[in-house]
């Protein structure tokens, strides 16, 4: 597959052939499993105090009182305690810190998931299906000249994205939506959408220019994985590659 190489001003510089890593079939099953493994390996073990709900002095009344003989009761009152069905009692099946959250995945499967998600960045149908907004006249993935890596201010970054016809997607990510559920009162009231992924060989300057734009991520080819390319297990992320990054990816598959 041949794509255009764009200048920072948005003009077409020349055409190149994409690396073989972009020619893999769509494998949603492997992508979903790879993303799940990444997410599980970030979970911090959590659990309850083993003595929670057990710090009470209570005993059963025994039979002959016309009430449940299995419920421990506090002192000479009828108030139940300790067991899960009572107020302030222990939890029935609480989470324990001994639970093993870590998951492993075969290297070849993980690599195939990455290549599959990478291939979908070149599929306009999949990119549009994710909700990304872009100029339909550009070729995907968006490949730009190495001059792009010299961008170091947000003003220059916005100008470049407008020249490419993808800044509308950044504006889409900036439209905050209130989260449903209890997360609203736990410090994560708003959900931040994912926007453009920028892949460069050296992100020292580029990161400074793009880090304030909502939903935009800047990575090197070495940092690419299924979760970055397919957030939420949904492949087809709008991605910008520099020529140097494409050269590095070309060495992955001979």
Torsions phi, psi for 2 (to 5 deg): -105, 140
pTM, whole model, 2 decimals?
Answer: 0.86
Q: What is the CA radius of gyration of the chain?
A: 27
CA dist 115 and 49 (Å) reads: 44
CA dist 31 and 222 (Å) reads: 18
Q: 176 lies in a domain?
A: yes
Residue 185 three-state SS: helix
CA dist 160 and 9 (Å) reads: 7
pLDDT value of position 254:
87
Host H or E run for residue 241: strand 239-242
Between the CA atoms of 207, 155, 198 and 119, what dihedral angle is there, to the nearest 10 degrees? Answer: 180
pLDDT value of position 113:
98
Q: What is the mean pLDDT of each run of 10 residues along the chain (254 residues)?
A: 96 96 97 97 94 94 93 93 95 93 96 98 97 96 97 97 97 94 95 96 95 97 98 97 97 94
Which residue range forms the structural domain that includes residue 121?
2-27+106-250
Minimal CA–CA distance to 140: which of 28, 1, 3? 3
Instruction: Find out whether 87 and 73 touch, Cβ atoms under 8 Å.
Output: no
**From residue 31, how far is each of 13, 23, 36, 59 by CA, in Å?**
33, 16, 9, 54
CA angle (191, 198, 7) in 5-degree steps: 135
Q: 73 lies in a domain?
A: no
Number of domains in the chain: 1
Instruction: Find out whether 218 and 203 touch, Cβ atoms under 8 Å.
Output: yes
Indicate the burial class of 221 (C-beta count within 10 angstroms; 0-12, 13-18, 19 or more). buried
Instruction: Find out whether 236 and 230 touch, Cβ atoms under 8 Å.
Output: yes
Q: 69 lies in a domain?
A: no
Instruction: Find out whether 73 and 79 touch, Cβ atoms under 8 Å.
Output: yes
Q: In what order do the strands lie in the sheet with 142-144?
A: 12-17, 2-6, 142-144, 239-242, 197-199, 217-219
The CATH number for 162's domain is 3.40.1370.10
pLDDT value of position 76:
85
Q: 57 lies in a domain?
A: no
Q: 207 lies in a domain?
A: yes
Q: 42 lies in a domain?
A: no
Q: 43 lies in a domain?
A: no
Pairing state between β 142-144 and 239-242 = parallel
Q: 100 lies in a domain?
A: no
Pairing state between β 12-17 and 142-144 = unpaired
pLDDT value of position 165:
97
pLDDT value of position 174:
94
CA dist 21 and 112 (Å) reads: 9
Give the tokens for residue 241. 């590659």
């Amino acid at each position: 597959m041949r794509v255009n190489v764009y200048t920072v001003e948005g003009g077409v510089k020349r055409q190149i052939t994409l690396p073989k890593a972009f020619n893999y079939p769509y494998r949603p099953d492997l992508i979903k499993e790879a993303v799940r493994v990444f997410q599980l390996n970030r979970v911090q073990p959590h659990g309850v105090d083993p003595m929670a709900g057990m710090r009470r002095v209570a005993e059963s009344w025994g039979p002959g009182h016309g009430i449940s003989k299995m419920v421990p009761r506090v002192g000479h009152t009828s108030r139940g305690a300790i067991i899960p069905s009572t107020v302030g009692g222990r939890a029935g099946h609480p989470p324990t810190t001994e639970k093993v959250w870590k998951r492993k995945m075969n290297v070849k499967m993980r690599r195939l998931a990455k290549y599959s998600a990478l291939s979908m960045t070149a599929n306009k149908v999949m990119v549009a299906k994710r909700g990304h907004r872009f100029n339909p006249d550009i070729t995907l993935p968006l490949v730009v000249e190495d001059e792009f890596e010299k961008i170091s201010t947000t003003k220059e970054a916005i100008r470049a994205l407008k020249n490419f016809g993808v800044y509308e997607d950044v504006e889409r990510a900036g439209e905050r939506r209130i989260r449903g559920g209890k997360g609203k009162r736990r410090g994560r009231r708003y959900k931040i959408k994912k926007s453009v992924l920028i892949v460069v060989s050296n992100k020292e300057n580029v990161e400074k220019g793009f880090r304030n734009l909502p939903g935009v991520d800047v990575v090197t080819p070495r940092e690419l994985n299924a979760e970055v390319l397919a957030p939420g297990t949904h492949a087809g992320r709008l991605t910008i590659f520099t020529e140097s990054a494409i050269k590095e990816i070309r060495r992955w598959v001979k």
